Amino acid sequence: MSDQSIRSPQTVTRTARTRGVDEEAYLEVTDLQVQFPTADGMVKAVQGLSYSLPLGRTLAIVGESGSGKSVSSMAVMGLHDARTARISGSIKVGGRQIVGLSEKELESYRGKDSAMIFQDPQSSLHPYFTIGDQIMEGYRTHNNVSRSKAKARAIEMLDRVGIPNPRRRVDNYPHEFSGGMRQRAMIAMALVNDPKLLIADEPTTALDVTVQAQILDLISDLQRDFGSAVVFITHDLGVVAEIADDILVMYAGNAIEHGPVDKILGTPLHPYTWGLLESIPALAGEPQPLHPIPGTPPSLLAVPSGCAFHPRCEFRGRVPGDLCTTLRPELIPRTGDQGRASRCHLKEPDHVFQSEILPRLP
Ligand code: SF4
């Protein structure tokens, strides 16, 4: 099966249109491939990924480690080293092609048109420079302003992200901030140039639950105020329910399910998404047995034939013949169902979900 089947930018753009949201896709990823040559062979980290995202919406990209969610988002940011990564396909941000830009062009793009918040502010903030200096640096790189104007902007941003006493705190070093405050400072750094595209890579994983909720609220508020497009990378479906408009579930370097958050969390169509839902422990009521997904994610050096999920899928016996092991399913949009799409050979997955999976969800 060729990758042609998953090149569906028209489908994805139509998805946004059918929902009556902002018509224009600000971020448009088409047939993205990211590969890393290694001594053991070619690591196929992303294989023909397509999606789009309009301004004002949040897309959660969900999947286990090695699913390609972070690697694909780093490609959107132009963060891969051209000497070690092979990138093909198209990534358009505000209509501008990112694939193939020079390092100099990428420097002017990063932090201005797009910005990224990382998981671990401790290692992303430089310990020898004040918080204010680090916010100011990003601002002055893209704006020809004096130091005092940049400092005023840093104070404004710290205030905007809820740091108390920003005039005093702007001169603090990272070690003088708590974990939650450091993450807020990272968000201030990311947003200092009003980027239209924000990518947040597991930004709350290292934080305790209360601070996590505050940071999620902050990102939602800021998105509303700035009108940005947000890509939120996470493995936590609880977080997704809080923050996302749409979900893209990734497995072994590709999208296996895509659609509005209420649809994907309410009636998912793909056995892998079912497995993710079944792996979430219940927070209330009687303790329920968990149903973790058996096995481990595949090596990206040797992705299984046919459906990449087939070695772990308890439903492959329901599909006639050897389709699951020999034929890669297409990402098929469901007609009249708000543009949701799933990559699975199983017939009537909604019925299977309602009758078999739903009753055993925690
Ligand atoms: Fe399971 Fe087959 Fe669907 Fe893959 S295509 S998820 S193996 S039923």
Set out the domains of the chain in order of their start, with CATH numbers. Answer: 1-113+197-208+223-362 (3.40.50.300), 121-194 (no CATH)
> Residue 94 in contact with residue 280, Cβ under 8 Å?
no
pLDDT in tens, the chain (362 residues): 333 333 233 333 333 333 434 458 999 999 999 999 999 999 999 999 999 999 999 999 999 888 999 999 999 999 999 889 999 999 999 999 999 999 999 988 988 889 998 877 677 789 999 999 999 999 999 999 999 999 999 999 999 888 999 999 999 999 999 988 998 999 999 989 989 999 999 888 767 778 788 888 888 888 888 889 999 999 888 889 889 999 999 999 999 999 999 999 999 999 999 999 888 766 566 666 677 888 999 999 999 999 999 999 999 999 999 999 999 999 998 877 777 999 999 999 999 999 999 988 77
Could you tell me the sign of the dihedral formed by the alpha carbons of 179, 180, 185, 188, in that order? Answer: positive
Ligand 1 pocket mutation pick from 251, 344, 347 by most atoms within 8 angstroms of CB: 344
Cα–Cα distance for residue pair 156/152, rounded to 1 Å: 6
44 lines ligand 1 (CB under 6 A): no
Cα–Cα distance for residue pair 255/69, rounded to 1 Å: 9
Q: Which atom of ligand 1 is nearest to the CA of 314?
A: 1
Closest-CA residue to 259 (of 198, 202, 332): 332
For 160-304, list the strands marked E by DSSP. Answer: 197-201, 229-234, 246-251, 254-260
218 lines ligand 1 (CB under 6 A): no
Packing angle of the helix pair 179-191, 131-142 (nearest 10 deg): 10
> Residue 26 in contact with residue 98, Cβ under 8 Å?
no
Ligand 1 pocket mutation pick from 274, 323, 324 by most atoms within 8 angstroms of CB: 324
| Element holding 30 (H helix, E strand) | strand 25-38
> Residue 204 in contact with residue 183, Cβ under 8 Å?
yes
Predicted pLDDT at 46:
97
Question: What proportions of the chain, in percent to the nearest 5, are helix, strand and coil?
Answer: 40, 20, 40
Which class for 291: exposed (0-12), middle (13-18), buried (19 or more C-beta within 10 A)?
A: middle
Question: 110: which DSSP letter?
Answer: B
> Residue 291 in contact with residue 275, Cβ under 8 Å?
yes
Which class for 119: exposed (0-12), middle (13-18), buried (19 or more C-beta within 10 A)?
A: buried
Q: Which atom of ligand 1 is nearest to the CA of 345?
A: 5
Residue nearest to atom 3 of ligand 1 (CA): 344
10-26: burial string, b at 16+ Cβ within 10 Å, e else: ebbbebbeebeebeebb
> Residue 326 in contact with residue 282, Cβ under 8 Å?
no
Cα–Cα distance for residue pair 35/289, rounded to 1 Å: 38
109 lines ligand 1 (CB under 6 A): no
Q: Which atom of ligand 1 is nearest to the CA of 272?
A: 6
345 lines ligand 1 (CB under 6 A): yes
Predicted pLDDT at 156:
93
Predicted pLDDT at 283:
58
Cα–Cα distance for residue pair 69/232, rounded to 1 Å: 10
Pairing of strands 25-38, 41-54: antiparallel
